[in-house]
């Protein structure tokens, strides 16, 4: 089982201006996949916070003891922490972190001064021929066999810090989250930026158009990239992702 580097998977925060950004990583991932984006945004004068979700950044056995309620409530707690220091907050999430960010925005936008959401390769459904056998598979095995990181850039792939296997029970919990959020999208009214790679091997690319269609937001922007695979925050299109994210935050937040 792959051992993660605790220094790379640790939480990070950068205290800058009155506008905050909560960066949330994806399923089986770690804050490392959001750190470079966080450093870029901090360089633009934004206060940034990124923390590992419960059960993440340590071992798959730890993740096995968590579910989507734990991940979601951690996002809300992180938002409350950041909101206490900022006038307005943007939620930026990678993959499941994007889905969680949308879910939080549907319920806490006014309470915690959420100004907007940037979701990168966020799933609303999963497309895998093995999903129908998941209930049976869970009776005989705890973890999905190791799979390769969905990053096109070989240098970034080697640096990635994420689990090399997935607790099957957590996949079931993820599916529950996605079904729940699908019904919440209509309640989101803050501006939303959606970023999706057309070469994503993890999240079926049409997910992003379904999310865009179901969002209650009037201000919703869709950006498609073509060089990266799934983890667009560290892959070939990462510079474009950074630029589009700050461009969105600057416009929506009325930053000078």
Distance (Å, whole) CA 53 – CA 30 = 8
| Catalytic residue list contains 230 | yes
Per-residue pLDDT tens digits for 13-34:
999 999 999 999 999 999 999 9
- Binding-site residues for substrate, in ranges, read 27, 96
Residues near 243 by beta carbon (within 8 Å), at least 6 away in sequence:
none
- Give the number of other Cβ atoms within 10 Å of residue 70's Cβ: 15
Rounded to whole angstroms, the Cα distance separating 253 from 212 reads 21
Binding annotation: 27, 96
Backbone angles phi, psi at 62, to 5 degrees: -65, -40
Domain boundaries, the chain: 6-252
The DSSP bridge partners found for residue 24 are 93
Catalytic residue among 25, 230, 235, 237: 230
Active-site pick, 56, 149, 150, 200: 200
Find, among 93, 149, 139, 147, the residue nearest to 116 by Cα. Answer: 93
Pick the catalytic residue from 95, 101, 149, 197: 95
> SS3 for 151?
coil
Which stretches of the chain are assigned E, i.e. beta strand? 12-14, 19-24, 47-50, 88-94, 114-120, 143-144, 166-167, 192-197, 220-225
The DSSP line for 90-143 is: EEEEETHHHHHHHHHHHHHTTTTTEEEEEEES--SS---TTGGGHHHHTTT-SE
| DSSP 8-state class, residue 247 | H
* CATH class label, 6-252: alpha beta
- Cα dist. 192→23, 121, 177, 210 in Å? 15, 13, 19, 14
- pLDDT tens, residue by residue, 125-173: 998 877 888 989 998 999 988 777 899 999 999 999 889 899 999 999 9
pLDDT in tens, the chain (256 residues): 677 899 899 999 999 999 999 999 999 999 999 999 999 999 999 999 999 999 999 999 999 999 999 999 999 999 999 999 999 999 999 999 999 999 999 999 999 999 999 999 999 999 887 788 898 999 899 998 877 789 999 999 999 988 989 999 999 999 999 999 999 999 999 999 999 999 999 999 999 999 999 999 999 999 999 999 999 999 999 999 999 999 999 999 999 7
DSSP category for residue 183:
T
Determine what percent of the chain falls in helix, strand and coil, rounding each to the nearest 5.
40, 15, 45
pTM of the model: 0.97
> Residue 85, CB half-sphere, CA atoms under 13 Å: how many?
17
């Amino acid at each position: 089982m792959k051992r993660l580097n605790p220094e790379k998977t640790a939480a990070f925060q950068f205290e800058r201006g009155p506008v905050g950004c909560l960066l949330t990583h994806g399923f089986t991932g770690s804050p490392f996949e959001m750190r470079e984006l966080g450093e870029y945004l901090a360089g633009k004068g934004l206060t940034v916070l990124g923390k590992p979700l419960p059960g993440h950044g340590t071992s798959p056995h730890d993740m096995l003891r968590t579910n989507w309620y734990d991940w979601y409530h951690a996002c809300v707690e992180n938002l409350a922490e950041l909101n206490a220091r900022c006038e307005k907050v943007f939620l930026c999430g990678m993959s499941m972190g994007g889905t969680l960010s949308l879910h939080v925005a549907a319920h806490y936008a006014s309470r915690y001064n959420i100004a907007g959401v940037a979701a990168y390769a966020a799933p609303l459904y999963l497309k895998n021929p093995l999903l129908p056998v998941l209930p049976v598979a869970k009776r005989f095995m705890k973890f999905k066999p190791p799979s390769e990181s969905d990053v096109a850039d070989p240098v970034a792939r080697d640096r990635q810090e994420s689990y090399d296997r997935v607790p099957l029970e957590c996949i079931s919990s993820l599916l529950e989250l996605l079904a729940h959020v699908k019904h919440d999208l209509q309640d989101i009214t803050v501006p939303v930026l959606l970023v999706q790679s057309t070469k994503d091997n993890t999240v079926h690319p049409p997910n992003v158009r379904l999310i865009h269609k179901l969002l209650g937001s009037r201000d919703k922007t869709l950006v498609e990239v073509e060089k990266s695979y799934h983890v667009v925050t560290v892959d070939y299109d990462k510079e474009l992702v950074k630029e589009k994210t700050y461009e969105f935050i600057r416009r929506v937040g009325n930053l000078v």
